[in-house]
A and B are shown apart, each in its own frame.
Chain A
Amino acid sequence: MKKQLFSLYLLFFCQVLYGQTDTSFFFTRVKQDSSKLKLNMDAVYNRPFLQMGKLPVSLGGYLEANSSYFSTDGISDGLSFQLPRLTMFMSASIRQRIKFMTEIEFEEGGREINIEFAALDLEFNPLFNLRGGVIMNPIGSFNQNHDGPKWEFVSRPVSSTTIIPSTWSNVGFGVFGKYSRKDWVWAYEAYLSNGFDDNIINNNQNRTWFPASKANGDRFEESFNGVPLKTVKMAVKHRKVAEIGLSWMGGVYNKFKDDGIILDKKRQLNFIALDINSTILKDTYLNGEWVWAYVDVPDTYIQQFGNRQQGGFLDIVQPIKKGKMLGWSESVLNVALRLEYADYNVGNFQELGLRIADHMYALVPAISFRPSAQTVIRANYRYERHTDLLRNPASQTAGFQFGFSTYF
């Protein structure tokens, strides 16, 4: 009974939220320019903003809440409710061609507060802009385009949060630019930033684990080893065909020198990611990302810690009904499917000659209902298989997730 009540409460809550934005007392919605071709890299600005009067400041944000029921090998911890994140953003046009934008995220009910993005953009030419501050490294597509309301599934893609540690932002600066002609647009981004530390091989996951570096708040103040992390992305899009992005992020993760004393050689890490999205067959939306990661792990770490990881996801979203539903005039009902995979240790055991497993895959059929483009109410089944390092019988997890995510 409690389950039902809570879900109802969630539903009404979204309704109230939605209702509030309508009674725009002071704030008005900033009209989004839909004529321009938008890329994943534009996601930070491509959000619904509210503006107060004629002030040059726009505000926005989004909230996510969900409930889930999972069982692993038949053992369940029952139903639980989460508020994974509440994000606020604010942008200001300081002068012509000078913009500031910040995104602040409260995670897990406020236990964690992160500045995900806080950067100043200076435009010299559409092909040449400077950006500095806390930037989101443009690796893959999800890291920059991660707002909850844009996705039809309750959970974030596994490979994008555990191999690419989204949201992965760092202090740094760089350049970006765009060139468009007719139905084509081409864009690039290149940044230098602070980066990873050796927690990627010193963590409570007992494997190479990039997200472990996120716990190090010092990276907003100083680099762990003085070598900048380089991130470069290139994307092309054709209005009627697809957007394809290719990105690379590389750097050094260990402290090879301290106080002038050489401690170790420089140990590199490199990510290469491919992302693609397209609408085919009139209105079937495909969106995917694949990442390969390479790390120089010290020999003394044995193969418990992988020197190669790879993984990705593919989302297929099919609207099945559009138009007036339940009294909302522009609502959409979708069915969707996500396939995802993450291999945390690619290679063979030296001792055994056998392949190392340590991988997972998941299958997620979903339905989502959007009363408006800015709000999504979604429910999905989720089936996951995790195989341990030694390839012992996989543990199976399955269950349901239900929740909403909305811009406000």
Chain B
Amino acid sequence: MNRRLLIFAIILEAILIVSCERITPRVPADDQILDGPIDGLSSAEKTRFLAGDVAFNDEIFTRETGLGSVFVATSCGSCHAGDGKGTLFTTLTRFGQTDETGNKFLHLGGPQLQNRAIPGYTPESIPAGATFSRFTPPSNTGLGFIELVSDEDILAMADPSDLDKDGISGVPNYGALPSFINALPNAIPKNGKYIHRFGKKAAAYSLLHQTVNAYSQDIGISSAFAPKDVYSGQEIDPEISNLTINNVVFYLQTLKAPIQRDQNDTQVQRGKQTFIDLGCQGCHKQTLKTSLSPIAALSNKTFHPYTDLLLHDMGSGLDDGYTEGSAKTSEWRTPPLWGLGLSPNSQGGQYFLMHDGRARSIEQAIQMHGGEAGASRDRFKKLAQGEQADLIKFLKSL
């Protein structure tokens, strides 16, 4: 009888083992997903990446772990799903600042609206008289490269008084550094203020700055870096360790850059030429380079984000009357276009483009360009339909 049992077991095992590898889902191609580390990390670096990945995507805060008391969402991953862009559903609101003299509504909950609260607390609402803007989450891939563009390179792209007469100026957002941030050795400050680069208004200096603010303002998690409770404004014990924050920063730094698809497609290549001809590159700069980094895989690399990290006046249509740092209300930082074609994978199959997701297609996004980008928008409008299609195909390949 044991022999029969053995045969039974062996047959069963055979079925199991043969089929295990076959009938399980395939890994999506690397160029189809945003998440994943950059190549060339050491194993210690990979371990940190994974620790940051877990904290960013899987750690969901609850009342017991410090959530709120007022907040916008319960984890980084709930707004930055798959590290891609968000939708109107994950959009957050900021209010209360109209010029470089700062936010006038800090005592009434500004700058960020915490529209949710744990039971027993009242969420915030926008105070009377405050102007506001809505921000849709950007994707957060390739940010480690962006963080390492030197101030010198950024300043070289700026043209505040439009000396080259192309209608495009471009200025950096200068801001004061919070006490927990040390300026990079190659930083070029002006009157004690430093060039900021992250966020829609380029109002965050570094990924650490952005991350600390996100924990505090988005989730209501205080840290040793930002010990004030969002609700009471009083200093409370840290609700997250410095180690976790540093791991999340490391994760953001080492997330791979989106990989372009269909590069050899002739339509894509024609579209790329159109992109150059229309002057889109005046702001969406194709190639930038990193400076020296302790993470070898990021050091001295060229990459293709399609941004100049500068603020541009985008016209009255995109002026919400709200701003941050030294930016004007009509000024927005050029968003990187890499990963654009993969946006629908995190936006529920749709597009929600521009700072508040108001553009529902790439065409609409281009049509909404105004101000400094007005000329290139007009050139886009004059294109033959086929040429427009080429351009869109190129943008979707990014």
Contact = CB atoms under 8 A, between A and B. Distances in A.
Interface stretch (A72-80, A158-166, A275-283): A72-80
B180 interface: no
B16 A379 contact: yes
B4 to A, nearest CB: 5
Interface in B23-39: 23-28
Contacts of A127: none
B20 A69 contact: yes
Interface string B342-369: 0001111110000000000000000000
B345 to A, nearest CB: 6
Contact of A390 (B4, B91, B120, B348): B348
A263 to B, nearest CB: 6
Nearest to B25: A396
Question: Which of B17, B20, B116: most chain A CB closer than 10 A?
Answer: B20
A390 B81 contact: yes
Contacts of A381: 19, 23
Given A349-B89, A390-B347, A76 B24 contact: yes
Q: How large is the interface on A (under 10, 10 to 19, 20 to 34, 35 or more residues)?
A: 35 or more
A388 B81 contact: yes
B240 interface: no
B236 interface: no
A198 B81 contact: no
Nearest to A384: B25
B1 A392 contact: no
A73 to B, nearest CB: 6
B27 A75 contact: yes
A132 to B, nearest CB: 32
A7 B9 contact: yes
A391 B28 CA distance: 18
A351 B5 CA distance: 60
A202 B89 CA distance: 20
B116 A400 contact: no
Given A11-B5, A349-B89, A398-B25, A204 B16 contact: no
A254 interface: yes
A397 B25 contact: yes
Nearest to B10: A4
A206 B75 CA distance: 8
Nearest to A4: B13
A21 to B, nearest CB: 17
Given A263-B119, A300-B115, A390-B81, A74 B63 contact: no
A398 B27 CA distance: 12
Given A4-B13, A352-B87, A390-B87, A300 B117 contact: yes
Contacts of A392: 81-82, 345-349
Contact of B12 (A326, A354, A390, A402): A402
A53 interface: no
Nearest to B90: A390
A55 interface: no
B50 interface: no
9 contacts: A202-B67, A206-B78, A302-B115, A303-B89, A351-B87, A351-B89, A381-B19, A390-B87, A390-B347
Given A71-B25, A351-B87, 17 more contacts: A11-B5, A11-B9, A70-B24, A72-B25, A73-B27, A73-B28, A202-B63, A206-B74, A300-B115, A326-B1, A326-B5, A352-B89, A357-B348, A390-B89, A391-B348, A391-B349, A393-B349
Q: Which 5 pairs of residues, A with B, have the shortest CB-CB distance?
A: A74-B27, A71-B24, A390-B348, A327-B1, A396-B25
Interface of B: 1, 4-6, 8-10, 12-13, 15-17, 19-20, 23-28, 60, 62-64, 67, 73-75, 78, 81-82, 87-91, 115-120, 123, 345-350
